[in-house]
């Protein structure tokens, strides 16, 4: 379906053309003065200079040419030259009826679907997820869902950190503790045990212990570096330990990401790109893209238009070791070969922007991607505590994601029990659903690039711009619809009548903007725009609800219209929160 604003604009294009003015001036926007009008056009103001006439004269000439009022109900020229518009109420009701019968709720799918890889995990194996992993997971999941809803082939990749020094450190510490393990016997030729010699809890304790030792003991660090090198060169026993680390870690990561309702299509990591590195290095050297500088292999990526220094992209260190740049470039080659994406989108802390500028420029310069392949980076701000510093535990340490989710769920459980709104047997499950909305909405309602304060008390509130408030609104619509059905009535799609009150029309107008919001939010990769929209829609619904007797309406056709509108509001809100990555309970 075409967007309502586009249909209005088409009418104004006709009017501007009939008034012998360039139709490009017929741009329509949602009114910033809803007390005066619903939509506005400021084209006459912009056209005044070109046509050497007062803006009000041009505006009046355009208004005179609008004769068909089937779409535009009211149109008025006001000084100094604005054109104020109101939609025809019957047309609005008809538009929403068509929207309700459209399985995509009026959203037009992409005419040329793209394959887009979203790199939004970045977790390191053998380490627990902490709050630092929250933003990339939440924002990336939402962008993936929005893209799928728009009809694109979205591929989410966790891109694990699974091939660095941390592996050598774990192997070294494991050998210190259990030198008798068969993995350290180079003469062993049999099959290695299927069961890992450690649990996830033990693994998560081994790594920080080993990391601490390597900072104080130079010999220990050398052994860890050597273990890393031998692992990467294929030492059989070390590869077997690495597989155990991966299996144990990935199982735990899937559980924790699952608690966030975050799901990846690919569970690949840095290790998967290693086989592409040797050929890539040869290609960069043989084709003159890379050169040696003080022993390191680099690619110059600075450009004449740069206003600040952009250092070369380092491919190999002077000792021949690969770096993040190397692995990320090899991963681009791998993705282009296996998936032929139209776009690769990366989510990471905005402080990593320089790294991605270097990698993207290198990939383009060396023709590792097609000319039309989009490489995009969404840099997000930090999640801070009330003190304005990065979010920590009360003890001052980095908070594990599991603990944060647990604390939010406990807070929601207490509020739900105090309200006695659901049975005790359902309270825990409901608390988890509402708690997830508090976390995700609290994050996504902020522009990704900005830092924000994670305020547990505010985010778990049932009032204001919060996830629980949105869910409470959805549950309210479900409750009314449920009572209507309990009375033996059947919901009728397409039963919408022209709005009777200002609040009803405002609600209908808000619903009608759904398709434009989703399209724009995905284009700009901006989930916060969906949050802003559903907060506005929830407010409009609650305003309508408080001043309208819905179930006690005597006019059956009008009542059926109210209920059809409520059902559409529910469907739009539930679709939006699904795009944001959470759901609503039946009661709360």
Closest CA to 224 of 164, 160, 177, 161: 164
Contact predicate 85/38, CB 8 Å: yes
Using CA atoms, how far apart are residues 125 and 400, in angstroms rounded to an integer? 14
CA distance 115 to 74: 44
Partners of residue 293 on adjacent β-strands:
296
431 shares its domain with 455 = yes
Asked whether residue 224 is assigned to any structural domain, the reply reads yes
Q: How far apart are CA 276 and CA 329, in angstroms?
A: 9
Q: Are residues 331 and 455 in the same domain?
A: no
Joined together, the tokens standing for residue 439 give 């976390």
- How far is Cα 278 from Cα 364, in angstroms, rounded to an integer? 19
* 532 and 423 co-located in one domain: yes
pLDDT of residue 398: 78
For residues 152 and 552, give the distance between their C-alpha atoms in angstroms, rounded to a whole number. 44
- Domain stops at, among 68, 87, 106: 87
How many helices (H) and strands (E) in the chain? Answer: 20, 13
For position 49, which CATH number holds? Answer: 3.30.1360.70
244 part of a folded domain: yes
408 and 454, same domain (yes or no)? yes
Q: What is the reported pTM?
A: 0.95
Residue 105 belongs to some domain of the structure? no
How far, in whole angstroms, is CA 438 from its chain's centroid?
15
Taking alpha carbons only, the member of 501, 491, 500 closest to residue 569 is 491
Place of tokens 């021949």: 320
Give the mean pLDDT per block of 10 residues along the chain (588 residues).
97 97 97 94 96 97 96 97 98 97 96 98 90 94 98 98 93 97 96 96 94 96 95 94 96 95 97 96 98 97 95 94 93 98 97 97 98 97 88 75 92 86 80 96 96 93 96 97 91 89 98 98 98 98 97 94 97 98 93
Q: What is the pLDDT of residue 61?
A: 97
Provide the 10 A C-beta neighbour count for residue 524: 10
Residue 157's SS3 state is strand
Instruction: Give the three-class secondary structure for 33.
Output: coil
| 450 and 378 fall within a common domain | no
CA distance 331 to 294: 26
Report the chain's C-alpha Rg in angstroms.
Answer: 29
| Domain boundary, last residue among 359, 384, 409 | 384
Residue 98 domain-assigned?
no
| 293 lies in the same domain as 309 | yes
The verdict on 196 and 293 lying in the same domain is no
Q: Are residues 317 and 235 in the same domain?
A: no
Query: Helix-strand-coil percent breakdown of the chain, rounded to 5?
Result: 55, 10, 35
Are residues 156 and 74 part of one domain? no
Structural domain count of the chain: 4
DSSP letter at 115 equals E
On whether the CB atoms of residues 134 and 360 are closer than 8 A, the answer is: no
Q: Which of 51, 53, 48, 44 is nearest to 25 (CA)?
A: 44
Q: What is the pLDDT of residue 396?
A: 66
Residue 182 domain-assigned (yes or no): yes
Statement to judge: residues 351 and 406 lie in one domain: no
Tell me if 246 is assigned to some domain. Answer: yes
What is the full DSSP assignment across 241-255? HHHHHHHHHHHHHHH
145 belongs to a structural domain: yes
pLDDT at 276: 97
Q: Is 180 left (phi over 0), alpha (psi -120 to 50) or beta?
A: alpha
Residue 20, domain member (yes or no): yes
Q: Are 192 and 234 part of one and the same domain?
A: yes
CB 197 within 8 A of CB 174: yes
Question: Do residue 410 and residue 538 come from a single domain?
Answer: yes
The domain that holds 512 is classified in CATH as: 1.10.730.10
User: Could you tell me where the beta strands, DSSP code E, fall in 150-217?
Assistant: 153-157
Indicate the pairing of strand 39-41 with strand 291-293. Answer: unpaired
* Structural domain containing residue 142: 117-162+267-384
User: CB 270: neighbour CB atoms within 10 A?
Assistant: 21
């Amino acid at each position: 379906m075409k967007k309502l604003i586009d249909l209005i604009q088409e009418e104004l294009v006709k009017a501007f053309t009939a008034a012998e003015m360039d139709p490009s001036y017929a741009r329509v926007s949602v009114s910033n003065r809803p007390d005066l009008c619903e939509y506005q056009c400021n084209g006459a103001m912009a056209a005044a200079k070109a046509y050497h006439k007062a803006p009000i004269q041009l505006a009046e000439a355009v208004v005179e040419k609008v004769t068909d009022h089937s779409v535009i109900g009211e149109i008025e020229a006001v000084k100094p030259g604005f054109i104020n518009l109101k939609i025809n109420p019957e047309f609005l009701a008809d538009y929403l009826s068509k929207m309700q019968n459209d399985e995509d709720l009026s959203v037009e799918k992409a005419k040329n679907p793209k394959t887009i890889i979203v790199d939004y995990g970045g977790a390191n194996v053998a380490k627990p997820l902490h709050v630092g992993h929250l933003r990339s997971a939440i924002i990336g999941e939402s962008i993936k869902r929005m893209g799928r809803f728009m009809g694109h082939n979205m591929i989410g990749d966790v891109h694990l950190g699974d091939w660095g020094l941390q592996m050598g450190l774990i192997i070294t510490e494991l050998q210190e503790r259990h030198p008798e393990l068969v993995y350290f016997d180079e003469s062993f030729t049999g099959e290695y045990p299927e069961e890992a010699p450690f649990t996830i809890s033990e693994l998560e304790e081994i790594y920080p212990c080993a990391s601490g030792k390597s900072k104080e003991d130079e010999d220990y660090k050398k052994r860890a570096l050597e273990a890393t090198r031998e692992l990467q060169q294929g030492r059989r026993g070390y590869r077997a330990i690495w597989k155990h680390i991966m299996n144990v870690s990935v199982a735990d990561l899937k559980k924790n990401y699952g608690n966030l309702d975050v799901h990846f299509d690919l569970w690949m990591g840095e290790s998967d790109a290693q086989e592409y590195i040797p050929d890539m290095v040869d290609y960069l050297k043989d084709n003159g893209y890379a050169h040696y500088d003080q022993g390191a292999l680099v690619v110059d990526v600075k450009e004449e238009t740069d206003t600040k220094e952009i250092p070369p992209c380092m491919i190999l260190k002077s000792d021949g070791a690969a770096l993040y740049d190397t692995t990320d470039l090899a991963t681009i080659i791998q993705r282009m070969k296996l998936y032929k994406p139209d776009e690769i989108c990366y989510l990471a802390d905005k402080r990593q922007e320089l790294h991605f500028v270097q990698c993207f420029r290198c990939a383009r310069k060396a023709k590792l991607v097609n000319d039309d392949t989009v490489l995009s980076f969404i840099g997000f701000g930090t999640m801070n505590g009330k003190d304005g510093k990065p979010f920590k535990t009360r003890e001052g340490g980095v908070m594990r994601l599991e603990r944060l989710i647990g604390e939010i769920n406990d807070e929601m459980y207490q509020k739900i029990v105090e309200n006695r709104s659901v049975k005790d047997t359902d309270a825990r499950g409901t608390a988890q659903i509402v708690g997830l909305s508090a976390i995700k909405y609290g994050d996504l309602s902020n522009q990704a690039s900005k830092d924000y304060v994670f305020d547990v008390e505010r985010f778990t509130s049932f009032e204001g711009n919060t996830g629980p408030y949105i869910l409470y609104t959805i549950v309210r619509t479900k409750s009314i619809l449920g009572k209507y059905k309990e009375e033996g009535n059947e919901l009728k799609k397409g039963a919408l009548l022209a709005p009777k009150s200002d609040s009803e029309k405002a609600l209908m107008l808000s619903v009608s903007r759904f398709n434009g919001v989703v399209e724009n939010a995905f284009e700009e990769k901006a989930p916060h725009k969906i949050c802003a929209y559903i907060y506005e829609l929830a407010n409009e619904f609650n305003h309508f609800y408080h001043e309208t007797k819905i179930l006690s309406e005597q006019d059956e056709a009008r009542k059926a219209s109210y209920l059809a509108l409520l059902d559409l509001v529910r469907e739009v809100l539930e679709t939006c929160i699904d795009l944001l990555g959470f759901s609503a309970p039946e009661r709360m």
